[in-house]
Structure 1
Amino acid sequence: MTPFEALYGRRCRTPLCWYESGENAVLGPKIVQETTEKIKMIREKMKASQSRQKSYHDKRRKDIEFQEGDHVFLRVTSTTGVGRALKSKKLTSRFIGPYQILEKIGKVAYRIALPPSLSNLHNVFHVSQLRKYVADPSHVIESDDIRVRDNLTVETIPLRIEGREV
């Protein structure tokens, strides 16, 4: 018993076995011609199937391109190295940034200006690892003016008194 037969429960059909099973034909030009015709037919059907699947895929696909100077988010995954470069592993966000694109390298790769904390990373990333940053004023967090004393303490003013019990 062959491994194929043990796995699939039937004998393997090679191109020489594609002729009609009732005939005991001798190998010759007729069997070779039938085999090549059937191989051509199989290739045509595979091409038709592949083109149909490609058309389904292309309907939903859009090519993403960035310009120099655009800002993008960088995807955090353990396989790309970005996840390994971050110090905190727990509760990390899916994207970090935004970072500025310095230049386009090839069709799908971009060089990004990374901060010094991520200097151990290679600064060229595939377009699938990037997401466009849409500027929004609500993303900017303004800090309050804090007055620090000479002894490095900060005066805090309570907003309201919750309870008077001690």
Structure 2
Amino acid sequence: MIKKALVVIDIQNDITKNYKEIIANINKSIDWAIEKNIHVVYIRHENLSSGTRTFKPDTCGAELASDLKIVSKNIFTKYKGNALTSEEFSNFINKNEICHFYITGADAVACVKSTCYNLRKANYDVSVLTDCITSYDKRKIDEMLRYYESKGCKLIGLNDLLNS
């Protein structure tokens, strides 16, 4: 297995806004990762705050979306925006000596942003798949792409990835 991972962040039933526009691309990136023998990792968010309406533990809304291609048992739960706060995910990275991450996900201005920032802060190589991320406010995606780049992330489109 190559020391790389494709990370799918928060493609869950409670992410109803805009993810349908990128799910086909995410599934294609998963096929690419399998073909290249790259780990595929799924990150789930759960809200533990009382009064929360989304991502409640043990609810349908917290489950991975049914149209997301699931190809591994590498499914980790986080309770904060940054995926590295999941001890199980951090352990998986260390055990498999992963050094490069390809990022896809549902909220470019929240969990995707926090995860990219913290992966770069830890000196990992990070590539953001530009047409495999979305946000509740899609007008902010270009701003987020500039932010990712300013933090040292590489931006790559799905077609360029598939042809690499």
Instruction: Give the TM-score category using the shorter length.
Output: under 0.3
> Could you state the TM-score of these two structures normalised by the residue count of structure 1?
0.20
Whichever of the two has the greater Rg, that structure is 1
* Structure (1/2) with the larger helix percentage: 2
Does 1 or 2 have the higher relative contact order (CA < 8 Å, sep 6+)?
Answer: 2
> Could you state the TM-score of these two structures normalised by the residue count of structure 2?
0.20
* Structure (1/2) with the larger strand percentage: 2
